[in-house]
Structure 1
Amino acid sequence: MLPYPAAPTLAALAAAVTAGRDEPVDGTWRAAWRDADARAASAIAHTLGEELTEPRIAAELTASLPPEATLVVAASMPIRDVEWFAPVRDSPARVLANRGANGIDGTIATAYGVSAMSAGPTVLLVGDVTLAHDIGSLLTARRTGIPLTIVLLDNGGGGIFDFLPVSGEQDAYEAHVLTPTGLDPEKVADLYGLAYQPVPDLAALKLALEASLEFHGTALLHLRTDRARNVELHRQVWDAVAAVL
């Protein structure tokens, strides 16, 4: 907290911001920023390639969803990957996120609520642990018929923790930190009446995503990803971006 009265502080800040508004703007900094951004984007795209990975999936969704669509992004790695790897585009889809009290809880319910109040299609990008935490909200598919496309990143647990030193503690790590769910997404889809679609590669994702946006129900697109490869790829991207800046 700032130990100053709010009103005079904000007034002084507003005056400082507007003081030089009529002066010529030096575009050097903006040009340098855009150049760096373009070089970073090129390095990212080259490093990601066409492999079906979590960063590439995030990039694909944000690049291909129509402007009238809404992408609801789960906490943990999905929201980070969308922030890091979403390409710049004109008229992008709306992107929303919701952090529950425990981080990942309530994500599916949030996506259904967004879909119910949106004119365009809604897509949820979610991991397997987050799906399990709010699995009961899939009853919405049977009860209401609200349309939703769920893009499920199935990497066998909370993959974000593989980036931390604790991941080296094998037995304790898997049981108490990684917490793989052991759920079969196809059986989950059958239980809740979802349209299940396994997605083996990027080309299949593009086709399945396009078809799901026209589907009047809940579609579950199941994408298996590798946690070790995910950590490796993120580090490759960081190195590639650092090399061009």
Structure 2
Amino acid sequence: MSATLDFRNTNALWGSVLVETLARCGVREAVVSPGSRSTPLTIALARHPQIEAVPVLDERSAAFFALGLAKQHRRPVVLLCTSGTAGANYFPAVIEAQESNVPLLVITADRPPEMRDCASGQTIDQQRLFGGHANFYHELAVPEPRLDRLAYLRQTIAHAVMRTQSPAAGPVHLNAPFRDPLPPIEDASVRALAGQIGDDFFAHLDRPAPVGAATMAWAAPMTGRGVIVAGPAHVADPAIYAQKVSALATMLCWPVLADALSPVRSQLAAADIVTCYDAILREPQVAKRLRPEAVLCLGGWPTSKVLRGWLETSGAEVLLVATSAANRDALHGRARQIIADVESLAVTGRRADDAGYRAAWQQAEVRARSQFDVVLEKEKALFEPKACWLLAQHLPKNTPVFVASSMPVRDVEYFWPATKRQQAVYFNRGANGIDGTLSTALGIAHGNRPAVLLTGDLALLHDANGFLLRPKLRGSLTIVLINNAGGGIFEHLPVAQFDPPFEEFFATPQAVDFAKLCAAHDVEHVLIRGWPEFSKLIATLPEQGIRVLELRTDRKHDAARRKQLLADAAEPVRG
């Protein structure tokens, strides 16, 4: 009999069998939202020695914290809540998990069937609550103290864990009804089952089936005018991934355009990749001269709208390599898709080298990067793009970095250079929203190396309840806060010229005192006065706690400067 099983009553036994099955299937983390109906599972998770259960008050924050943990560990994380609207607050993170292939096992506790549709408190229709955004849905049976029902539970939970990872990673939803009594009040009749559940009840779960990636062959077109687009990707081993991309580039004789959210940007030398393509391709004549005949896209489509537009109009043959079977061709071009890991891709066929084409890309890269470096090196004012440029150079090697959506991810895309400093870059780019920015970053930081979050003010405020996680955090998170009093990305959109209503309804200015917000949560706050201070603070990260480094910038001024800097970087490549 497993020592983790709880025979005090039916619900206690049901919950402990469920949680022991999770543990045998490799689950090591659970995020628990407080509530009553989920009591049997909360107690079982809290007492299991192999599972770290973290209570988080706000359900939306809890869901994104679990998402961050799953991103960090690349394994399923359990997310548990009570009945009613609690599970609805998980929806944004469930969508992100589905869009970005992150394994989450969401368990929503529920009233039993006889208490539904009769105005019973805290009861809503939870059937298929997340619709098509779950890999798999099942409502568990109401607990019964019977061996055959426990065997059903064991098999169903093992299957649910498997479905979070196969055939593609993503969220799974289990709805779990419980009758009273919810706490483990003693029921002597359940004790009789203790002698019927031996060690062999779970033994087969300790031997997971081996998973191996099959080699996928691609007959590459014989052209030297091809490019490899290394798009956003979370991978198990960034170094091996980057080596594979480098090997593909050597074999094909094609340049590598490395998205800032690809491991390639922080693993390969500057001479081996192109990082300034967004600026380079803004010059129409250069974009035309560099037009490819073939494209190999690895991972997701790139962040850069300029690059995507250039690919769309090129008419090139495109091969998409992705681990998901979902349609990844947002450009609707001449694209084929291979469902495979990049590491398992084998290229066949003859190669056709075009040294002039590769040289043109590299020359354009050197000129544009030099323009960026010269301008940003001289910049004394707190200009937003310089923050990510300095982070790339001064952060300790192997630092986990979470990049918020909207303007921060675009500044990283534009200005983060190739460094070979092996920073692990994380992001929520499945649905591209700002939901759960702080909570996801805390999930990345929990139990990890000292981590960094680069965010704007609105994204941080949108998830300010994430600060409630501070007492639970094992490790540290340094938040680089670009406070430009509003939504800076909207300054780059055509709607910016229509004011009113632009400033109030799109830029949505805020006047929060972040020092006071941090003080309310016992979080360290530093108002950055200059770049030397900033560089010093990011070079050595604290071992524990949350620290906010606030940079107050001028949103409109920086938007104009950013546009000019990108235009100036494109100018020298015309020749």
- Give TM-score, length-normalised by structure 1: 0.86
Aligned partners of 2:374 and 2:422: how far apart in 1?
22
Mark the runs of 5 or more structure 2 residues left unpaired by the alignment.
Answer: 1-215, 222-346
1:175 is paired with a residue whose SS is helix
Structure 1 equivalent of residue 552 of structure 2:
224
- Determine if contact 1:129/1:157 at 8 Å carries over to the other structure: yes
Structure 1 equivalent of residue 205 of structure 2:
none
- Determine if contact 1:72/1:111 at 8 Å carries over to the other structure: yes
Structure 2 equivalent of residue 98 of structure 1:
428
Deviation at 1:155, TM superposition (A): 0.2
Query: In structure 2, do the counterparts of structure 1 residues 163 and 26 end up closer, same or farther at CA, with 3 Å as the change threshold?
Result: closer
Structure 2 equivalent of residue 205 of structure 1:
534
Structure 1 equivalent of residue 490 of structure 2:
161
Q: Are positions 1:58 and 2:388 aligned together?
A: yes
Structure 1 equivalent of residue 48 of structure 2:
none
Query: In structure 2, do the counterparts of structure 1 residues 145 and 194 end up closer, same or farther at CA, with 3 Å as the change threshold?
Result: farther
User: 1:193 is matched with which residue: 522, 540, 546?
Assistant: 522
CA displacement 1:1-43 (0-9 Å, x = unmatched):
xxxxxxxxxxx9812454434x574443323222211111001
Mark the runs of 5 or more structure 1 residues left unpaired by the alignment.
Answer: 1-11
Structure 2 equivalent of residue 237 of structure 1:
565
Structure 2 equivalent of residue 35 of structure 1:
363
Deviation at 1:100, TM superposition (A): 7.1
Paired letter, 2:458: V
Structure 2 equivalent of residue 15 of structure 1:
219
Q: Which has the higher helix share?
A: 1
Deviation at 1:101, TM superposition (A): 5.1
- Determine if contact 2:450/2:476 at 8 Å carries over to the other structure: yes
The structure that has the greater radius of gyration is 2
Between Structure 1 and Structure 2, how many residues are aligned?
232
Aligned partners of 1:30 and 1:141: how far apart in 2?
49
- Determine if contact 2:451/2:477 at 8 Å carries over to the other structure: yes
Deviation at 1:171, TM superposition (A): 4.0
Aligned partners of 1:157 and 1:146: how far apart in 2?
30
1:87 is paired with a residue whose SS is coil
- Determine if contact 2:446/2:474 at 8 Å carries over to the other structure: no
2:485 is paired with a residue whose SS is coil
Aligned partners of 1:101 and 1:216: how far apart in 2?
31
- Give TM-score, length-normalised by structure 2: 0.38
Please tell me the root mean square deviation across aligned C-alpha atoms, in Å: 2.3
- Determine if contact 2:457/2:486 at 8 Å carries over to the other structure: yes
- Determine if contact 1:68/1:94 at 8 Å carries over to the other structure: yes
Percent identity over paired residues: 37
Deviation at 1:47, TM superposition (A): 2.4
- Determine if contact 1:47/1:236 at 8 Å carries over to the other structure: no
Greater relative contact order (Cα < 8 A, sep 6+): 1
Aligned partners of 2:546 and 2:509: how far apart in 1?
24
- Determine if contact 1:74/1:125 at 8 Å carries over to the other structure: yes
Query: In structure 2, do the counterparts of structure 1 residues 117 and 214 end up closer, same or farther at CA, with 3 Å as the change threshold?
Result: closer
Paired letter, 1:31: A
Aligned partners of 2:572 and 2:528: how far apart in 1?
33
